[in-house]
Amino acid sequence: MSNGEGEGEEEGASAGDDGVVAGDDWGVAGDDRGGSGDSILVSVDDEGIATITLNRPDKLNALNTRVRQHLMEVVDDLAADARVKVAILHGAGEKAFVAGADVSEFAARTPGEQREVYDRRRVYDAVAGFPKPILCAVHGWCLGGGSELALACDVRIACPTARFGQAEIRLGLIPGAGGTQRLARLVGPGQALRIALSGDTIDAAEAHRIGLVEVLAEEEGGHLEAAGKLAGRMARWSPVALRLAKRSVRAAMEVPLSAGLELERELFLAAFASEDGQEGVRAFVEKRRAEFRGR
């Protein structure tokens, strides 16, 4: 794997010891022939915070078909779990959040087979459509499909040494799971074009400067702690209000302002009519802490 020093390195592509295509800083050459049962770990704490761990550190948490399918099932289960208020997604190991896709997997497909795969429901859309807040805690490499997975989340928290990139251009490809669309909406078309067309990686400070990362952890390895603190602040509030606020903000990226304002009005009225909304107003007037029940 490239050491990440500098941008646009011109090394030749070859499979390194860690499985990453050296010089490309992206993708994994070699599939996972084991089951996916332990490829994702899930826990839910007493605050209602779910932690989702991508657990393929030996493959830099690369996304193959099994992992994507398993993650989609996990996301669906957590969406239906009334205990869960907020979710945190992160990668195991020391080197990467997600180093990208399993290149060998789609290298074996014909164009027709690839289209068939892409016509199915995709994990990136499942994550983006998760009705509760989902935070992405990033360390190390966040490249290709990993970048797209982070973009599908609501808030990105990164270690100082994290690196981001969309290096599909180096393989004669483009991002195909939201990488161009979600990135442009987040950082603007100019920055999105710079990243997508150059194949360069950017460091966490640059990602934070352009708005790709919302929270920059103060210390190396502090991404999970920072994500946990933010998730804890969110989990204090009404699950109903969290869902409605997320839906309203997400709509701002997809609909005209007039339609967004109308949706916001309707969602406000829905929140006001909810049991949690009534409880919150009463608690404020009575100068006590509200007891939200998610109804």
Per-residue pLDDT, averaged over 91-101, amounts to 90
Residue 121 confidence class, pLDDT cut points 50, 70, 90? low
Exposure of 65 in the CB half-sphere (CA atoms within 13 A)? 12
- Strand order of the β-sheet with 96-98 is 96-98, 141-143, 163-165, 201-203
- Domains of the chain and CATH, by start: 14-235 (3.90.226.10), 239-285 (1.10.12)
Cβ-in-10-Å burial (0-12, 13-18, 19+) of 214 comes to middle
Residue 222 neighbours by CB distance under 10 Å: 19
Q: Which amino acid is at 291?
A: E
Residue 117 confidence class, pLDDT cut points 50, 70, 90? low
Structure tokens at 47: 């605050």
**Confidence at residue 176, expressed as pLDDT on a 0 to 100 scale:** 85
Structure tokens at 220: 């190396």
Taking only the tens place, the pLDDT of each residue in 11-65 is 322 233 333 332 333 343 333 333 345 889 999 999 999 999 999 998 899 888 8
CA distances from 90 to 71, 123, 138, 233 (A): 12, 15, 6, 19
**Confidence at residue 260, expressed as pLDDT on a 0 to 100 scale:** 94
Taking only the tens place, the pLDDT of each residue in 182-207 is 999 999 999 999 999 999 999 999 99
Catalytic residue numbers?
148, 168
Structure tokens at 215: 């929270």
Nearest to 92 by CA among 59, 114, 117: 59
Nearest to 211 by CA among 134, 287, 150, 291: 150
Taking only the tens place, the pLDDT of each residue in 242-285 is 999 999 999 998 999 999 999 999 999 999 999 999 989 888 99
pLDDT above 90 covers a percentage of the chain that reads 62
Q: Are strands 96-98 and 134-138 parallel, antiparallel or unpaired?
A: unpaired
CA distances from 96 to 146, 164, 273, 283 (A): 9, 10, 44, 44
Structure tokens at 43: 């826990």
Residue 2 has pLDDT above 50, yes or no: no
Per DSSP, the residues of the chain read -----SSS--PPPEE-TTSEEETTTEEESS---S-STTTEEEEE-TTSEEEEEE--GGGTT-B-HHHHHHHHHHHHHHHH-TT-SEEEEEE-SSSEEE--BBHHHHHTS-HHHHHHHHTS--HHHHHHT-SS-EEEEE-BEEETHHHHHHHHSSEEEE-TT-EEE-GGGGGT----SSHHHHHHHHH-HHHHHHHHHH--EEEHHHHHHHTS-SEE-SSTT-HHHHHHHHHHHHHTS-HHHHHHHHHHHHHTTTS-HHHHHHHHHHHHHHHHHSHHHHHHHHHHHTTS-------
